[in-house]
């Protein structure tokens, strides 16, 4: 494996919760990376050497195919499983050739579906347990008591060690958290999507001592695009990058991780250089004026 300096640190998602790497490798697009199983294995090894030991999945990623791609790579060196944390999600049913019985895209957080999804994920990944299982989206028909009981059953069976949610509001998170301990809420956040900063999501998680996971921290690549509305924001991030001597993406990751709720960002790239830029963000902090300059550019106005 290649050699990288100063590996990514580890963070606990809650006081008694799961330890994840400070940067998590998101596998959403693995099916688009056009890698052989050996190339996927090499990528996983390089992530681990960087200290990025946590890998984020969902049953639906890649049309229900990404977990299998990851499992095929892991099967080439099964011992790596002891050096990583695997996260997956369930609760969305897609219309897909892989699931011909699904006639409409919808949510399903019933006990039967959660248990079946976990079994499918374990088989695809070639592992005996998930380190963390998330409910992918809030379901209008979800029963908090039923979900909590299902989670406890999966824990007792040794199939899942920790539980969380994704894209839940503060109230939804706290309603389930009162019934079963949750270790994270994975939400969208970036300088182009600030909602969790102002809708009590981050405040509520900080209050509970729970670290959020962050998807799309680079706004799905829009921060690198040519959207005229984001031009002042890009210019400000470039300025801070020049002031700190750090890459553009590293500045964005550092800006996110500076929040006191200790956000854990996900990457979305199959390029190890991009993962390394995310890890670089763990090695510096922005000054308070720099942090607020980016916020001001993101919002288009002063704080008051």
Q: Read off the tokens for 150.
A: 């299902």
The answer to whether the beta carbons of residues 265 and 23 sit under 8 Å apart is: yes
Known catalytic residues are 61
CA distances from 73 to 40, 76, 129 (A): 6, 6, 17
- Number of neighbouring beta carbons within 10 Å of residue 226: 8
Residue with tokens 């199939």: 159
One-character DSSP codes across 137-164: S--TT--HHHHHHHHHHHHHTTSBS-EE
- Number of neighbouring beta carbons within 10 Å of residue 254: 24
Within the chain, what is the greatest distance between any pair of CA atoms? 56
Distance CA(17)–CA(13), nearest Å, equals 5
Distance CA(298)–CA(48), nearest Å, equals 33
The answer to whether the beta carbons of residues 57 and 25 sit under 8 Å apart is: no
């Amino acid at each position: 494996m290649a050699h990288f300096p100063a590996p990514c640190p580890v963070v606990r998602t809650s006081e008694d919760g799961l330890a994840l790497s400070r940067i998590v490798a998101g596998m959403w697009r693995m099916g688009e990376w056009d890698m052989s199983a050996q190339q996927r294995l090499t990528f996983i090894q390089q992530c681990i050497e960087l200290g990025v030991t946590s890998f984020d999945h969902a049953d639906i990623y890649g049309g229900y195919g990404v977990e299998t791609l990851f499992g095929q790579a892991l099967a080439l060196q099964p011992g790596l499983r002891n050096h990583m944390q695997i996260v997956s999600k369930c609760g969305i049913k897609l219309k897909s050739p892989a699931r011909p019985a699904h006639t409409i895209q919808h949510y399903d957080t019933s006990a039967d579906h959660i248990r079946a999804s976990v079994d499918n994920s374990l088989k695809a990944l070639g592992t005996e347990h998930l380190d963390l299982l998330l409910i992918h989206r809030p379901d209008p028909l979800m029963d908090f008591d039923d979900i909590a009981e299902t989670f406890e059953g999966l824990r007792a069976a040794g199939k899942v060690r920790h539980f969380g949610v994704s894209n839940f509001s503060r109230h939804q998170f706290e309603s389930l958290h009162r019934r079963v301990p949750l270790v994270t809420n994975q939400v969208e956040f970036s300088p182009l999507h600030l909602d969790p900063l102002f809708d009590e999501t981050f405040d509520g998680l900080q209050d509970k001592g729970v670290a959020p996971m962050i998807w799309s921290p680079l706004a799905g690549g829009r921060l690198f695009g040519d959207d005229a509305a984001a031009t002042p924001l890009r210019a400000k991030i470039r300025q801070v990058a020049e002031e700190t001597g750090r890459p553009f993406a590293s500045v964005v990751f550092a800006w996110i991780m500076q929040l006191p709720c200790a956000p854990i960002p996900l990457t979305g790239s199959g390029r190890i250089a991009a993962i390394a830029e995310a890890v670089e963000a763990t090695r510096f902090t922005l000054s308070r004026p720099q942090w607020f300059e980016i916020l001001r550019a993101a919002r288009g106005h002063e704080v008051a």
